[in-house]
Amino acid sequence: MTTLSAPPVTEPLRPLELFGTDQLLSEDERDIAATVRKFVDTRLKPHVSDWFESAALPKELAKEFGKLGLLGMHLDGYGCAGTNAVSYGLACLELEAGDSGFRSFVSVQGSLSMFSIYRFGSEEQKQEWLPRLAAGEAIGCFGLTEPDFGSNPGGMRTRARRDGNDWVLNGTKMWITNGGLADVATVWAQTDEGVRGFVVPTDTPGFTANNIHKKLSLRASVTSELVLDNVRLPASAELPLARGLSAPLSCLNEARFGIVFGALGAARDSLETTLDYAQTREVFDRPLSSFQLTQEKLANMTLELGKGMLLALHLGRLKDGGGVRPEQVSLGKLNNVREALAIARECRTILGGSGITLEYSPLRHANNLESVLTYEGTSEMHLLSIGKALTGQAAFR
């Protein structure tokens, strides 16, 4: 008579080990990811639940991010690290594995505030602001979205009018990350010549930042309303190379690229947290991880995480090689944020009641990803961007 024995227990793998994605990275890229992950694990994760609960982000973290070389790391010169796009993406992934608020801070500082000055600013503007922003000695924000104009920024009501040699700005911007912390804001406004950008020190008379409270998402992040009431600026405050709406939209594309990687960090942390929990949580005298339904969930989530990582790396190589199209970034942002949110929610189901506490990360990540799903272009707008690329017809209006 043959006796059937239980299959041997194998050494568990981490989700992305199944895809061998580390083998697709250079040694420098792996080192950057490992350095940021260690910083997140030792400096940020021990405090993130307190910061999330108290809806605070310590301002002094800016200098720590700067010392690590994270601020504007994909830009060249002016104190910036000059890394490739993939390295920047991997840093975003590791930061968002801690919390979307950390990646949002770095993303807004480097890909919106700094990139707008780097790409469209005068040499004087670059010399004045970029070294300080790269070091975290100054904090920047990016004022494009308005209370009634998110997906349609071309309808913005903020206006800049000439008054002699000066510009005078009036208007309101909404949902501005870092606004209440910022020393400088890139503000976009309608003029008689079209949309223009302005570098606005936040201590300019008439400029006010009002922090938004009672948020259910991105709580470890400062989100603000910017009010410009007859803010008078010299002619030198205008970004000389920014002409039309394509200028701020190109900045948004830079930030979206970081999200393509960043959202995967939230998904990976959710999945790794849940795997560890399921291995030790006993249900009916067995580890929760040994049940078929649990393994089905874990396998499906791992599949989507790995697919998202392969897509992110492919887009990163395109960006480093010769450029990536905005519609391709839309593909990555749409897919990876959508799947990351689904993973975080599914992980919460495996954690059961424990999953609603800040002791475990998935529900915090899911709450944050609700914001990530909306900012830098809603899912609906990315779907329409992809649809336009496929059909040649714009369906935005």
Residues assigned a catalytic role: 376
DSSP of 290-311: GSHHHHHHHHHHHHHHHHHHHH
Cβ distance 141 to 166 under 8 Å?
no
100's CB contacts (< 8 A; 6+ apart) are: 218, 221, 262, 266, 365, 368, 369, 371, 372
Sign of the torsion formed by the C-alpha atoms of 300, 355, 38 and 63: positive
The residues pairing with 149 across neighbouring beta strands, listed in sequence order, are 146
Cβ distance 36 to 88 under 8 Å?
no
CA–CA gap between residue 33 and residue 149 (Å, rounded):
36
The helix/strand/coil state of 322 is coil
Question: Tokens for 216?
Answer: 């259910």
**Rg of the Cα trace of the chain?**
22
Sign of the torsion formed by the C-alpha atoms of 345, 311, 151 and 199: positive
